[in-house]
Amino acid sequence: MESRRDTRPDSHGAGITVQRALELPGLRSGLPEVLAGAERLNRTVRWVHAGEVPNIASLLKGGELLLTTGYGLGTRPAEQRAFVRTLAERGIAALVVELGPRFTRLPATLIETARTAGLPLVQLHREVPFVTVTEEIHTEIVNGHYALLQRAEEVHRRCTEALLGGGGVPQVLSILADFGDNPVFLEAADGRLLYAAGAGPEGADPLQVWEGLRGQHKDAPPPAGSVLVDVPGGGQGSGAVRARLVLLPVRAPLAPVHRMAAERAAGILAVVLMQARQEEELAARGRGDFLTDLAEGRITAEDAPAQARVLGFKPGTGPLLPVVMRLGDTLSPGGTARPSGTESGGGWAVLARAVAEELASLGVPVLLGVRPMEGRVPVLLGLRTESERAAVADRVATALRAGVERAGMQRAGARPPVVVVGVAGGWTAASAGLRHAAETAAAAQGLADRPWYDARRLDIDLLLWRLRDHPDLAAFVERAIGPIRDHDRRSKPPLLPTLETYLAHAGRKAETARELHLNRQTLYNRLARIGELLGTDLDDPQTVLALSLALRARRHVGQA
């Protein structure tokens, strides 16, 4: 037999090598002689098959070691060449032929075809029990699988110990990177890089490796031989993905054991990320509770600065600016945010992180909280001067809305969230301002969309909202605009839009006609009809005031 020292397993499969199979007692007792493919004896044997039929290649899947006495090889050279070629095309690991009644020595055609096809060909000079050979090789394969499992379990054990010792995601990735001798990355479900560990070729920074191979090519297939494992998200329904582990073979090939280890690490990372998200959400809720307690007067202006410092909020000597965002129907049914790819309820942690990242660019102290039950995000900002209020409000509103979009909490077709900015001042003013802004945000639902609302300009809407359950308000709306509403249910064109636009333009008929795309005579006819239905004069200031209030109040009493 031709000597061959390489007994390493194939890095792309799980099993034993052809070389190792030939060294086992069963085949060794047959005095094996390698006639072709000696340079490929490190191929992986994934299974053993014995057979004597000419079309045996159709029964194989690849990676098998085929045992035969040669009866299926055919008698003519063309048949023998075809037999070997089909086996090579099928991707079997090796062909082992036992000499005996069919062949005393293998034909030159068979050997030459095997060499050309790169198929290891072995002849056995002594008879061996094929069942013994099969049992021995299969035992080795099973033992090899068990050894892989043990190595993967060792990585799992080390990762678990790291977590119990206070470690987190970086420690888990470092253990995995050391085990695979390759850089390891944790990507968000959308492809953003979250963490990196290990080193690239010649000690290169793993961030450079990721940027070169993944950062600019997220939609392209990963490099050949890479390992990608989803980190489950624990969301509703199957298939939810929170993140993705990526192992890139830039220093050494990756073997099946590395995928097995990554799959076990992914389970641990799912728990770590869930715990981190829970802690993050609890912290955001804690800040929201503080801001709510401040707004409701349960924390005094004297005690608030010290408690705020504990939460990381350290404003300067300038005024404090209260801001409240209300998500309203942006949320999914039931008031619980369920962003795509995240677990139920965890959307508030995602939102808090996304908004915090957006607000970080403001360059001012920020205390951000969440109130999931009310669907609110209260914020307190430290200004340098009162003159900054409008500019900071613009940027805060943009950041808040961008955070909602990034968190996936903007439901398709839903109205954008409402952002209300309160009055700037000291801690006492901040308390009243947060409460005022929170109530105003509820009252502003249904108004024409704006980047943000000044709480001071919505006091009438707030007053009407506070009276929303009082029967007198509903009766007032009915008396004021009931006849027009009844007309619009029966006839066209509707007159309420005309009245709303007319009052919004303070009775200026030319501007009203332009906005409604009407000629003046048509507008005059409609206004006359409205006056007739209401039995009043639209030029009367008291009538205009009553109608304006009724139109604003109908949003709150279900008279839309």
Could you tell me if residue 367 is inside a domain?
yes
Instruction: Give the CA distances from residue 287 to residues 330, 369, 432, in Å, rounded to whole numbers and listed in that order.
Output: 22, 5, 17
Q: Last residue of some domain: 396, 426, 453?
A: 453
Task: Judge whether 505 lies within some domain.
Answer: yes
In whole angstroms, what is the distance from residue 481 CA to residue 496 CA? Answer: 8
The domain boundary residue, chosen from 426, 453, 480: 453
Which domain, by its residues, includes 96? Answer: 16-141
Residue 264 lies in a domain: no
197 in any annotated domain:
yes
pLDDT of residue 279: 65
In a domain, 157, yes or no: no
Look at the chain and count its residues.
560
Sequence letter at residue 231: V
**Whole-angstrom Cα distance, residue 382 to residue 426?**
10
Whether residue 130 is found in the same domain as residue 172 = no
Would you state the pLDDT for residue 234?
54
CATH number at residue 539: 1.10.10.2840
DSSP characters over 468-523: TT-HHHHHHHHHHHHHHHHHHHHSSS-SHHHHHHHHHTTT-HHHHHHHHT--HHHH
Amino acid 150: pLDDT: 82
Residue 414 in any domain: the answer is: yes
Is the same domain home to 91 and 204? no
Residues 347 and 414 both lie in one domain: yes
Among residues 236, 254, 272, the one where a domain terminates is 254
Burial of 329 (C-beta count, 10 Å sphere; 0-12/13-18/19+) = middle
Burial of 75 (0-12, 13-18, 19+ CB in 10 A): exposed
Phi-psi region of 291 (alpha: psi -120 to 50; beta: other; left: phi over 0): alpha
Based on the domain organization, do 443 and 358 belong to the same domain? yes
Residues 534 and 482 in one domain: yes
Identify whether 521 is part of a domain.
yes
Provide the pLDDT for residue 433: 94
pLDDT of residue 224: 83
Buried residues in 228-246 as b, exposed as e (16+ CB within 10 A):
ebbbbbbbeeeebbbbbbb
Q: Note down pLDDT in tens along the chain; length 560 residues.
A: 333 333 333 433 456 889 999 999 999 999 999 999 999 998 988 889 998 888 898 888 888 999 999 898 888 999 999 999 999 999 999 999 999 988 999 999 999 999 999 999 999 999 999 998 999 888 888 877 777 778 888 888 888 888 788 777 888 888 998 888 888 888 877 777 777 888 878 777 777 777 777 655 556 677 888 888 888 875 444 456 778 888 888 888 888 888 888 888 888 888 887 777 666 777 788 888 899 999 999 899 998 998 888 788 889 889 999 999 998 765 533 334 333 333 334 567 778 888 888 888 888 899 998 888 888 899 999 999 999 999 999 999 998 888 888 877 766 667 889 999 999 999 999 999 999 999 999 888 878 889 999 999 998 888 988 888 888 988 999 899 989 989 989 888 999 999 989 888 888 989 999 999 999 899 999 999 998 998 888 888 898 899 989 888 887 886 44
244 & 292 share domain: no
Q: What is the pLDDT of residue 156?
A: 86
**What is the reported pLDDT for 307?**
86
Domain check: are 307 and 428 in the same one?
yes
Kindly state the DSSP code that residue 387 receives in the 8-state scheme. G
Distances from the Cα of 365 to the Cαs of 301, 326, 453, in angstroms?
Answer: 18, 21, 22
401 and 318 belong to one structural domain: yes
Same domain? For 193 and 334 the reply is no
| Dihedral sign for Cα atoms in the order 381, 386, 387, 393 | positive
Query: Looking at residue 127, which CATH number applies to its domain?
Result: 3.40.1390.20
Instruction: Indicate whether 369 and 438 sit together in one domain.
Output: yes
Count structural domains, the chain: 4
Q: Which residues pair with 230 in a beta bridge?
A: 244
* Co-location of 234 and 363 in the same domain: no
Q: How far apart are CA 376 and CA 290, in angstroms?
A: 13
The C-alpha angle with vertex 324 and arms to 318 and 325, in degrees rounded to 5, equals 140
- Say if residue 293 is in the same domain as residue 431: yes
Is 127 domain-assigned? Answer: yes
Q: How far apart are the C-alpha atoms of 406 and 337, rounded to whole Å?
A: 13
CB 66 within 8 A of CB 84: no
| Domain of residue 361, CATH code | 3.30.70
- What confidence score (pLDDT) does residue 412 get? 66
The confidence score (pLDDT) of residue 330 equals 55
| Structure tokens, 39 | 């340079």
